[in-house]
A and B are shown apart, each in its own frame.
Chain A
Amino acid sequence: MSAGLVPTVRVQRQDFDVAAEIAELTRGRTDIGAVVTFSGLCRDEQGALSALELEHYPAMAEAEIGRIAAQALERWSLQGLAVIHRHGKIAPGENIVLVVAASAHRQAAFEAANFLMDYLKSRAPFWKKEHRVDGAEGGWVEAREADALAARRWKSKGPE
């Protein structure tokens, strides 16, 4: 549905600037009526965490995010799409992930951003390990059933 649009997909260690990414997507455009952004940040879990370590599968991560982005472009009429996912050690308060979806009308951008996050959570090859403030060995974050269910609900909705 989003003819000819090539999404921006980046997997990187460094931080990103949300405003700069929106500006990049909308620069010189007069056909965009809606921009929805989702930013995922690192929480400290009531002061218990000093950082999250994000391991990823370098050869697959960008490709898989690209496949998810391609599904979103097919499903919704978007004017722009950017997905950035960080890896490495990330401190509480720092950014982890960004989705920017632009469309003529708000509904497509809202839904596409929501879909992308649900799919990123359950299909993008990243794993979070906790580093604890007290120095104790932190564990791997467990996948939540709620995230898997959230991704599954898109199967029954709309044209695929």
Chain B
Amino acid sequence: MTTRLIYFAWVRERIGTSEEEVELPDGIETVADLLRWLQSRGEGYEHALQYPDVIRVAINQEHVDHREKIAGAREIALFPPMTGG
């Protein structure tokens, strides 16, 4: 199953794309696993995700924490802390 990953703000700029479809390898169960796997995909990812604790994540358009299971996620968004308002 493919999962749609979307990126915003400096996460998007550093990774160099705003979205992509990925085939997640076996063993990627939680958001934290996903962040670790993404970091190994190249320099841009490494730069964007070098401090994984600051990365905010939404699954299917709702905020989740890094322990959340990603099984069944259609869309996972990664972004920096929000600065709206």
Binding site for B on A (CB under 8 A): 40, 54-57, 59-60, 63-64, 85, 96-97, 117, 120-129, 140-143, 147-148
Contacts and interface: CB of A to CB of B under 8 A. Distances in A.
Interface size class of B (residues with CB under 8 A): 10 to 19
B47 interface: no
Contact of A121 (B61, B80, B85): B85
Contacts of B85: 40, 85, 96-97, 117, 120-121, 124, 126, 147
Among B8, B63, B80, B83, max chain A CB count under 10 A is at: B83
Q: Is the interface of A mostly helix, strand, loop or mixed?
A: mixed
Contact of B58 (A40, A57, A96, A127): A57
B78 to A, nearest CB: 11
B82 interface: yes
B25 interface: no
Among A54, A57, A97, A124, max chain B CB count under 10 A is at: A57
B80 A140 contact: yes
A141 B10 CA distance: 10
B42 interface: no
B19 to A, nearest CB: 11
Nearest to B85: A121
Interface string B71-85: 000010101111111
Interface of B: 6, 8-10, 58, 61-63, 75, 77, 79-85
B61 A124 contact: no
Contacts of B10: 140
Pairs of residues from A and B, 10 with the lowest C-beta to C-beta distance, nearest first: A126-B84, A143-B81, A127-B9, A121-B85, A60-B61, A120-B85, A141-B83, A124-B84, A128-B83, A140-B10
Contacts of B61: 57, 59-60, 63-64
A60 B84 contact: no
Contact of B79 (A85, A125, A142): A125
14 contacts: A40-B85, A54-B84, A57-B61, A57-B77, A60-B62, A63-B61, A97-B85, A120-B84, A126-B82, A127-B9, A127-B79, A128-B83, A140-B80, A143-B80
